[in-house]
Amino acid sequence: GAGVSQSPSNKVTEKGKDVELRCDPISGHTALYWYRQSLGQGLEFLIYFQGNSAPDKSGLPSDRFSAERTGGSVSTLTIQRTQQEDSAVYLCASSLVQLLRNEQYFGPGTRLTVT
Amino acid sequence: LAKTTQPISMDSYEGQEVNITCSHNNIATNDYITWYQQFPSQGPRFIIQGYKTKVTNEVASLFIPADRKSSTLSLPRVSLSDTAVYYCLVVNSGNTPLVFGKGTRLSVIA
């Protein structure tokens, strides 16, 4: 079946502009995560959606970052007034509700470059 | 969650067995050890998970001693396509965000 997809694959934007990044999780997966990865670094958690529960926003670096998940499926990560330090690969992952294993399936990412 | 420590990089020749050790001294009773693999320009991919002793699948083996304060990922007979970054994570049961370190960059040389 289809995996996690993300769009666009690459985005170049000017400093100060807003951007929207999209994630389509695997059908039926109730948990959805956003991470970002700066050059040569590990992944940094941003936000987590689980079913109809309130999202865990504890990883968002500033109030310029927000995300929503409509209908329990597609998610959009929005970055307002982008800054150069926002340049990174933004990764989305989804998983089934499982008591063990917590296996997350990652998309290919969106590479954001802020000029 | 328990912090993990693993080597920054490793080199290996094709056909050799590669062992990557990870330390997690503060692992809790309900934590599992999980390894992800990440190729360039791709998202990470789950490869193996274990709680104790030994786990083996078609990709790798995972060795966990009785005290669970460390673990070793073993890749048999590596090929050039195994060149990737390997992340050791300690995870709770259930769906929680993963905490990634910088991983181990494995370079396989012909």
pLDDT in tens, B78-92: 999 999 999 999 988
A102 and B34 within 8 Å at the Cβ level: the answer is: yes
Sheet with strand A65-69: strands edge to edge = A5-7, A19-24, A75-79, A65-69
The SS3 assignment for A8 reads coil
Share of chain B above pLDDT 70, in %: 95
Residue A102 pLDDT more than 80? Answer: no
Whether residue A107 contacts residue A7, with contact meaning beta carbons closer than 8 Å, is answered with no
Residue A97 touches chain B, beta carbons under 8 Å:
yes
Spatial CB neighbours of A3, under 8 Å, sequence gap ≥ 6: A26, A105, A107
Residue B95, pLDDT above cutoff 80: no
**Lowest-confidence segment of A36-40, B9-13, B56-60 by average pLDDT:** A36-40
| A104 and chain B in contact, CB less than 8 A | yes
**Chain A contact for B50 (CB, 8 A cutoff):** no
What distance in Å separates residue A115's CA from the closest CA in chain B?
21
The pLDDT-based confidence of A99 (bands split at 50, 70, 90) is low
Mean pLDDT of A18-27: 96
- Residues of B in Cβ contact (< 8 Å) with A33: 97-98
> Looking at residues B28-48, what average pLDDT do you find?
93
Cβ–Cβ below 8 Å for A42 and B46: no
Whether residues B95 and A102 touch (CB distance < 8 A) is answered with yes
B87 vs A42, A48, A109: nearest CB: A42
Quickly state the pLDDT bin for B2 (edges 50, 70, 90): low
**Distance (Å) from the C-alpha of residue B26 to the closest C-alpha of chain A?**
19
CA distance B93 to chain A (A): 5
Strands B61-64 and A31-37: unpaired
Percent of chain A at pLDDT exceeding 70? 95
CA distances to A59, B31, B57, B65, B69 from B26, in Å = 22, 10, 26, 14, 7
